[in-house]
Amino acid sequence: MINVLLIIGYILLLIATTGAILMPIVNAFQRPSLLKKTGIRLSILLSSFLVSLLLASNEVTATYLAYGVNAAIAQLVGGILILLYITFLIAIISTLFTELYGIIKTK
C-alpha cells in the first residue's frame, strides 16, 4: 500500500513540476515582453549563486571524507546554503519594507 501511494505521489509531483515549468513558458510566448524580465531575473539569480559559490569554503573534515564528500561537493553545498541565506534575508527585508511602506502610505 505504501509503495502505491509513494508512486502516486511521485506521479503527482512530476505533473506539478511539469506544469510549473511549462505554463510560464507558454505564457511568455504569448507575451514576449515577459521574456526580457525573466532573463534579467534569471541572470540575477545566476550571478548571486556564483557569488555565493565563490564565498563558500571547500574545507572537508575527516568525518565527511569517510562519506565520500570531496572539496567540490563541500563548496557546492556551502554555496547553496549561502544563497539560501541571502534569499531568505532579501525576503524578510522586502516583506518588512512592504509592510512599513503600507503603514506610512495609509497615514
Residue 11 inside a domain? The answer is no
62 SS3 class: helix
Domain extent, residue 88, equals 48-106
Nearest to 60 by CA among 51, 70, 50: 70
Q: What is the mean pLDDT of residues 30-35?
A: 82
Residue 15 inside a domain? The answer is no
Structural domain total, the chain: 1
3-state percent helix, strand, coil for the chain, nearest multiple of 5: 85, 0, 15
- The interaxial angle of helices 33-55 and 2-30, nearest 10 deg, is 120
Query: And the C-alpha cell for 20?
Result: 510549473
Residue range 38-66, pLDDT digits in tens: 889 889 999 999 999 999 988 888 888 88
Confidence of residue 1 (pLDDT cuts 50, 70, 90): low
Q: What percent of the chain has pLDDT over 90?
A: 51
Residue 93 inside a domain? The answer is yes
Residue range 6-26, pLDDT digits in tens: 999 999 999 999 999 899 888
Question: What's this model's pTM, rounded to 2 decimal places?
Answer: 0.66
Residue range 60-98, pLDDT digits in tens: 888 888 888 898 999 999 999 999 999 999 999 999 999
Residue 101 inside a domain? The answer is yes
Residue 87 inside a domain? The answer is yes
Residue 18 inside a domain? The answer is no
Residue 92 inside a domain? The answer is yes
